[in-house]
């Protein structure tokens, strides 16, 4: 029977139908196989750079220093400043210059340091050129050696040249004269003997008498 149907309708019906079915199957499987494989999308998360935490910087506490302002200022004395301040600030704390102050050799921009001595000479005052506007810097052991006593006074009989130059108005040449005097005269008997040193008169002595000793 199939053979008879084939012979009767095969060419006109069955063969085209079979071809259509084969074509549909081919199209279905080919479209399925040829579809590109779906790629798995992997989102790469880059590690977020952590913002560096900036720790709050504590405001630096400025170091306090003490300076001794002497000479031709309205209010000589010891003043407290911070380490970032300058000579001009110390002078202003001391009331400023007197009318007869000689400020020619003062470095107003210099920063202050602890235990600094600032001496402002008067006009016409006889001082060594290098010590006009004398700025004395403390030495590391100035409080215990070199002729300085614990009370801060300079011992004229023991002080070395460097220590003597910390005195107001005493430069290297006058310091050497003091040393020469005590070597030649067996030392200073009283602080008034300082006036016997060449180049040191009553005016200089009056400025130094509270800063010197002989014991």
- Looking up residue 173, the CATH number of its domain turns out to be 1.10.150.320
Cα-flanking dihedrals φ and ψ of residue 181, to 5°?
A: -60, -50
- Looking up residue 103, the CATH number of its domain turns out to be 3.10.20
Residue 11 covered by a domain: no
- Euclidean distance between CA atoms 65 and 112, whole angstroms: 8
What pLDDT is attached to residue 74?
92
What is the span of the domain harbouring residue 95?
62-138
Decide if 199 contacts 181 (C-beta within 8 A). no
- Report helix, strand or coil for 130: helix
Domain-terminating residue out of 138, 162, 183? 138
Tokens of 126: 């006889």
Residue 57 covered by a domain: no
- Could you tell me the pLDDT band of residue 80, with boundaries at 50, 70 and 90? very high
Do 210 and 174 share a domain, yes or no? yes
Give me the number of domains the chain comprises.
2
Tokens of 51: 């913002």
Residue 205 covered by a domain: yes
Do 159 and 131 share a domain, yes or no? no
Residue percentage of the chain with pLDDT more than 70? 60
- Among 113, 121, 101, smallest CA distance to 168 is for 121
Decide if 175 contacts 161 (C-beta within 8 A). yes
Residue 18 covered by a domain: no
Domain-terminating residue out of 97, 122, 138? 138
Do 134 and 155 share a domain, yes or no? no
13-49 per-position pLDDT tens digit: 656 666 667 767 666 666 555 555 555 544 554 555 5
Residue 7 covered by a domain: no
């Amino acid at each position: 029977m199939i053979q008879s149907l084939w012979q009767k309708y095969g060419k006109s019906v069955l063969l085209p139908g079979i071809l259509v079915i084969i074509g549909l199957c081919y199209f279905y499987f080919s479209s399925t196989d040829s579809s590109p494989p779906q790629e798995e999308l992997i989102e790469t998360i880059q590690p977020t750079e952590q913002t560096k935490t900036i720790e709050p910087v504590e405001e630096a506490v400025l170091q306090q220093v003490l300076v001794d302002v002497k000479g031709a200022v309205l209010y000589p004395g010891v003043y407290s400043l911070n380490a970032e301040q300058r000579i001009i600030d110390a002078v202003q704390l001391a009331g400023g210059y007197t009318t007869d102050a000689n400020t020619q050799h003062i470095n107003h921009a210099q920063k202050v340091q602890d235990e600094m001595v600032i001496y402002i000479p008067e006009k016409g005052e006889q001082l060594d050129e290098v010590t006009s506007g004398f700025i004395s810097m403390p030495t590391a052991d100035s409080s215990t050696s070199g002729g300085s006593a614990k009370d801060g006074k300079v011992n004229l009989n023991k002080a070395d040249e460097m220590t003597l130059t910390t005195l107001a108005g005493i430069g290297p040449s006058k310091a050497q004269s003091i040393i020469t005097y005590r070597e030649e005269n067996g030392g200073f008997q009283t602080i008034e003997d300082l006036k016997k040193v060449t180049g040191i008169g009553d005016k200089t002595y009056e400025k130094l008498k509270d800063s010197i000793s002989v014991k």
